[in-house]
Amino acid sequence: MAEPQQPTWLKLAVLTVIVLAAAAGISAFKSSAYSTRAQIFAAREAQQWQDYQVVSLKKDNLGLHRDILASLGLSEAKAPKAPKTTAAKIKGYEEEMGRLNQERDQIKKVAQSLAAQEEELAQKAGELGLAVILFQLGIMSSAAGVLSRKKILWLLSLGLGVWGLVYLVKNLIF
């Protein structure tokens, strides 16, 4: 017995489901990869800010030592066996504080750079997540079109698929 002839668009609608499912899989995979990388950058950023705090505490501690030493006004006469004079110790503290300021500024730049990269990766992951949703809606629409034999639902799935492809291509190429 011969099968009744089906409209061509029904075969294309089934093919659309397959293509959209593959695109959704690729989008989900890439979204997950971007999310993982964003988490790694977030952890590295947090470590940089911890280092920033450690260096700040060291600098503040040296500042306190310098201030205490200066306020006590110890002279060489009171401590003749001291290896360094009070002025030399204060100068050493100030030099070390300057070095720590530079180190802290460098750490801050690195942390801010990591934050910017993390934000970019998180945005890509979010857009690819949106692409997955659009592809899934397209799959649903195409399947509903085949089941109900309504071509408009299949056409809607094509629109959703193209919209999802825009996000997918944007985040794979750029």
Whether the per-residue pLDDT at 77 is higher than 50: the answer is: no
What's the pLDDT score for residue 3?
73
pLDDT per position as a tens digit, 79-126: 555 556 888 888 988 999 999 999 999 999 999 999 999 999 999 999
What's the pLDDT score for residue 35?
97
What's the pLDDT score for residue 54?
96
Whether the per-residue pLDDT at 2 is higher than 90: the answer is: no
CA distance 143 to 5: 19
CA distance 24 to 60: 53
pLDDT per position as a tens digit, 30-71: 999 999 999 999 999 999 999 999 999 999 999 999 888 888
CA distance 134 to 161: 7
Q: How far is CA 146 from CA 38, 133, 150, in A?
A: 40, 20, 7
End-to-end CA distance of the chain: 54
Full-model pTM: 0.77
What is the number of other CB atoms lying within 10 angstroms of the CB of residue 100?
Answer: 20
pLDDT per position as a tens digit, 113-171: 999 999 999 999 999 999 999 999 999 999 999 999 999 999 999 999 999 999 999 99
Please work out, in degrees rounded to the nearest 5, the angle formed at the alpha carbon of residue 8 by the alpha carbons of 160 and 148.
Answer: 60
DSSP reduced 3-state for 98: helix
Could you write out the DSSP letters of every residue in 47-96? HHHHHHHHHHHHHHHHHHHHHHHHHHT--TTT-TT-SS-HHHHHHHHHHH
What's the pLDDT score for residue 74?
55
Both tokens of 7, joined, read 């409209």
